[in-house]
Amino acid sequence: MAKSIRLYIAAPLSAGTSVALSREQAHYLGAVMRLSPGATIFLFNARDGEWRARIDALGPKGAIAVPETPSRASEAEHEAKTGGGPWLAFALLKRQATDLVVQKATELGAAALLPVLTARGVGERVNLGRLEAIAIEAAEQSERLSLPVIRAPQPLPALLATWPRERRLIAAIERADAPPPMAGEGPVALLIGPEGGFTPAELDVLRAHPFVEPATLGPRILRAETAAIAGLALLQGPLWRSR
């Protein structure tokens, strides 16, 4: 069968070891996909890779699946050598736009999502549980094995004060006389500002940190969610070609 039904499982996956599925996953398999015991699905996580599994039991309160054979090896070794995918730091947007950023950033391979509080931002808090559910669904759909780490929002100065110096931070700045985002060597991150852009004071703070590199996403003024998607695609291109 086509590899169309993939479920993220945090529990260890190994051949012949039964895995309990959640009530929501059982509802999806039975009521939405109309599967029954004996059907084949795929289970995955970053640690154990992806496994072809058989549904052993299925009911309204949960389900049991049994991994049988591995279908994709874990990417942990590759991630350790390359530093993983890029991080995305982004000014909080309205709920629907933030949800879109999380979904598309997961599909594009972002390793960490860091919401940032800025002067012109429109949000102050997020429902981390909902964002994690969006990331899981995006990983299941896109055949990704890992999930991005999603952090609680923090002010821009706090983000910069605790930034790991070995990771380049590429800041997308409107009308900047700068090159487009480029992955280069070593770990990298992309910073996207709010709809109104960074304030002059915030730009001064960014320029004061040597690990921050200004970048442009082209001659047009993009919506913040569009900028996040475009910037990640530019950063990931060389990494995809290297695999």
pLDDT above 50 (res 2): no
Model confidence over 204-232: pLDDT tens digits?
Answer: 999 999 999 999 988 888 899 999 999 99
φ, ψ at 8 (rounded to 5°): -80, 130
Give the span between the Cα atoms of 193 and 215, in whole angstroms: 12
Distance CA 181, CA 184 (A): 9
For residues 56 and 139, state if they share a domain: no
In this structure, the answer to whether residues 108 and 200 fall within a common structural domain is yes
Count of CB atoms within 10 A of residue 58's CB? 20
**In this predicted structure, what is the pLDDT of residue 27?**
96
Regarding whether 197 and 119 lie in a shared domain, the answer is yes
Q: What is the pLDDT of residues 11-31, one digit of tens each?
A: 999 999 999 999 999 999 999
Residue 106 lies in a domain: yes
**pLDDT tens, position by position, 94-145:** 999 999 999 999 999 999 999 999 999 887 788 999 999 999 999 999 999 9
Is the model more confident about 184 or about 59?
Answer: 59
Answer whether 0.85 is exceeded by the pTM.
yes
On the question of pLDDT at 179 being above 50, the answer is yes
CA quadruple 89, 87, 111, 93: dihedral, nearest 10: 20
Residue 175 lies in a domain: yes
Q: Within a domain: residue 65?
A: yes
Tens digit of pLDDT for each residue in 147-173?
999 999 999 999 999 999 899 999 998
Query: Any idea what the CATH number is for the domain that residue 15 is in?
Result: 2.40.240.20
Domain boundary among 74, 109, 129: 74
Tens of pLDDT, residue by residue over 37-93, are: 999 999 999 999 999 999 999 998 899 999 999 999 987 655 544 457 899 999 999
Q: Are residues 177 and 58 in the same domain?
A: no
pLDDT, residue 215, reads 92
DSSP symbols for 196-217? T---HHHHHHHHT-TTEEEE--
Res 218: pLDDT: 83
Query: Helices 224-242 and 95-107 sit at what angle, rounded to 10 degrees?
Result: 10
Q: Which of 25, 57, 74 is the last residue of a domain?
A: 74
Residue 32 corresponds to which amino acid? V
Whether 1 is in a domain gets the answer no
Statement to judge: residues 116 and 222 lie in one domain: yes
Structure tokens that stand for 20 in this block:
């309990």
> 154 has which bridge partners?
116
The pLDDT value recorded for residue 125 is: 83
The DSSP output letter for 188 is E
Closest-CA residue to 133 (of 115, 109, 106, 159): 106
CATH number at residue 215: 3.40.1280.10
The pLDDT mean for the chain works out to 90
Quick one: pLDDT band at residue 190, thresholds 50, 70, 90? Answer: very high
Distance CA 138, CA 144 (A): 8
| Within-domain flag for 103 | yes
Does residue 114 form part of some domain? yes
Report in angstroms the alpha-carbon separations of 78 from 43, 166, 183.
Answer: 20, 19, 17
Of 74, 101, 129, which closes a domain?
74
Q: In angstroms, rounded to a whole number, what is the distance separating the alpha carbons of residues 23 and 9?
A: 13
Q: Does 51 lie in the same domain as 118? A: no
By residue range, what is the domain housing residue 193? Answer: 79-242
Q: Quick one: 64 and 83 in the same domain?
A: no
Q: Give the SS3 label for residue 68.
A: strand
